[in-house]
């Protein structure tokens, strides 16, 4: 079995042996059970010895004997079992183990960088193709929510840095949803009261402790069935990755309100994809939200506002209609992910925004996990994805993404703009959100 060792493909000189198999003449890795059974005999060997730990075998069981092993191999039996990550950190931090720590089993490419940060030297892989995937993964993540054994700072510290850095250079960062020289519409919902904002902040803090350990489907179920029964909606663009969250919701409550913003500038393919997913998933409460016709007539009479003032165009076609649609609800669910980059790189799972609780169940998901979910559940892809549109919004402001570009590089290309405004969270407020 080849190895990735310190970022390069290497031949493995070590051999795994079962509990009753004859030992190899050279470097051999044995199980913890065999070590306990044959300890005395194994210590008489002249060849290097390695130890294999299952996910239910903590390093504490062999802490006093770690000096006898040149390699400790940690088994990852399933993606859901994260205990070996903790074991790697314990080996380095608590027990001061200086030998080689290797990982084997069910490991996804987006986990490689975290393994590296925890002091894992090598990973057993299938072939050179997998090596190339691991090397690509090294450059895909720049923000980490888990503490490692290296010097790179976790996301909470970076979030404070981002908020501090953006405020002086982007004075509008605190509230990009408003365009200062255009009064809000007469029927705009009232601003949230201080009391409502405080309640939402308190719920975020409580939910981070109560639900922060849950998987995305279980978190969604808790919000829909327990915390906000009848008082929560999903906002979906029906874009390239939307099917994952929509499928999860369909498995919990097909009648959940799904708010879809039809800006009247969308691709026809998006509208047809919406209809396809609604039918396939059996969603029974998809509400199409459109901009106020009089507002559009007043501010965008020829439909070309996007070319002159993109922020104002987003304001009247997306932000204002969504504010009205969300007014009855105390919480909403979004499909944003950290891997999408830019300000989303420090996205919390649970946050407070505008006096509401905002749930981002897929915040920590990678592109690999999303692709696996599409495949596992037979979900159709947005028809424009195959043509190079990786993030899809309104037709005039969406471009194809070139190989190697950020997936959202095609949105508002050439402008100092990377969000439409519906997901802008004040910098100071984001510091109170859950970073789980």
Where is the domain boundary, 105, 138, 171? Answer: 138
Residue 146 included in any domain: no
Instruction: Enumerate residues 6+ apart whose C-beta is below 8 A from 412.
Output: 310, 397, 418
Q: If you count them, how many residues does the chain have? A: 436
Residue 150 included in any domain: no
Residue 405 included in any domain: yes
Do 128 and 168 lie in one domain? The reply is no
Residue 143 included in any domain: no
Catalytic-role residue among 314, 394, 397, 420: 420
Do 161 and 306 lie in one domain? The reply is yes
Q: Is the per-residue pLDDT at 183 higher than 70? A: yes
Instruction: Say what percent of the chain tops pLDDT 70.
Output: 81
Do 167 and 60 lie in one domain? The reply is no
Task: Tell me the CATH number at 263.
Answer: 3.40.50.620
Do 267 and 387 lie in one domain? The reply is yes
394 is catalytic: no
Residue 319 included in any domain: yes
∠ CA 335-116-129, rounded to 5° = 80
Q: Is the per-residue pLDDT at 264 higher than 70? A: yes
Residue 337 included in any domain: yes
Instruction: Enumerate residues 6+ apart whose C-beta is below 8 A from 6.
Output: 121, 122
Condensed to tens digits (0 to 9), the pLDDT of residues 28-49 reads 999 999 999 999 999 999 999 9
Expressed as residue numbers, the domain containing 13 is 3-138
Do 335 and 421 lie in one domain? The reply is yes
Task: Tell me the CATH number at 50.
Answer: 3.20.20.70
CA 139 to chain centre: 16
Where is the domain boundary, 79, 111, 138? Answer: 138
Going by C-alpha positions, the residue among 244, 243, 263, 258 that lies closest to residue 398 is 263
Condensed to tens digits (0 to 9), the pLDDT of residues 356-368 reads 999 999 988 888 8
How many separate domains does the chain show?
2
* Average of per-residue pLDDT values in the chain: 83
Residue 436 included in any domain: no
Do 249 and 376 lie in one domain? The reply is yes
Where is the domain boundary, 103, 138, 173? Answer: 138
Do 365 and 410 lie in one domain? The reply is yes
Residue 102: its pLDDT value, please? 94
Condensed to tens digits (0 to 9), the pLDDT of residues 229-241 reads 999 999 999 998 9
């Amino acid at each position: 079995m080849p190895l990735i060792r310190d970022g390069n493909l290497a031949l493995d000189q070590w051999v795994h042996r079962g509990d009753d198999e004859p030992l190899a003449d050279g470097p051999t890795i044995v199980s913890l059970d065999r070590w306990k059974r044959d300890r005395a005999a194994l210590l008489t060997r002249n060849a290097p010895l390695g130890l294999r730990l299952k996910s239910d075998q903590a390093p504490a069981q062999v802490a006093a004997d770690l000096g006898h092993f040149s390699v400790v191999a940690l088994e990852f039996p399933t993606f859901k079992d994260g205990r070996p990550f903790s074991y790697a950190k314990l080996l380095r931090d608590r027990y001061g183990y200086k030998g080689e720590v290797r990982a084997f089993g069910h490991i996804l490419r987006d986990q490689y960088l975290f393994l590296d940060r925890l002091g894992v030297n090598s990973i057993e892989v299938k072939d050179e193709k997998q090596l190339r995937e691991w090397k690509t993964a090294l450059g895909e993540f720049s923000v980490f929510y888990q503490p490692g054994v290296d010097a790179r700072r976790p996301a909470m510290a970076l979030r404070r840095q981002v908020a501090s850095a953006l405020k002086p250079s982007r004075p509008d960062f605190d509230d990009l949803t408003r365009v200062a020289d255009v009064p809000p519409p007469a029927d705009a919902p009232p601003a949230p009261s201080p009391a409502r904002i405080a309640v939402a902040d308190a719920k975020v803090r409580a939910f981070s402790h109560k639900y922060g350990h849950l998987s995305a489907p279980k978190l969604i179920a808790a919000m829909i069935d327990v915390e906000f029964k009848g008082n929560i909606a999903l906002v979906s663009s029906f874009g390239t990755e939307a099917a994952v969250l929509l499928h999860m919701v369909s498995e919990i409550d097909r009648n959940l309100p799904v708010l879809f913003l039809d800006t009247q500038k969308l691709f026809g393919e998006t509208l047809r994809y919406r209809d396809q997913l609604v039918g396939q998933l059996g969603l029974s409460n998809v509400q199409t939200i459109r901009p106020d016709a009089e507002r559009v007539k007043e501010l965008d009479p020829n439909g070309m506002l996007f070319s002159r003032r993109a922020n104002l165009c987003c304001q009247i076609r997306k932000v204002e209609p969504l504010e009205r649609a969300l007014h009855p609800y105390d919480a909403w669910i979004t499909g944003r992910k950290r891997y999408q980059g830019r300000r989303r790189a420090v996205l919390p799972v649970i946050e407070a925004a505008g006096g509401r609780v905002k749930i981002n169940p897929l915040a920590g998901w990678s592109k690999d996990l999303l692709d696996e979910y599409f495949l596992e559940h037979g979900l159709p892809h947005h028809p424009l994805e195959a043509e190079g549109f990786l993030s899809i919004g309104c037709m005039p402001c969406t471009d194809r993404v070139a190989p190697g570009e950020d997936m959202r590089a095609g949105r508002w290309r050439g402008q100092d703009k990377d969000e439409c405004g519906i997901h802008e969270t004040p910098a100071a407020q984001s510091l109170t959100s859950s970073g789980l």
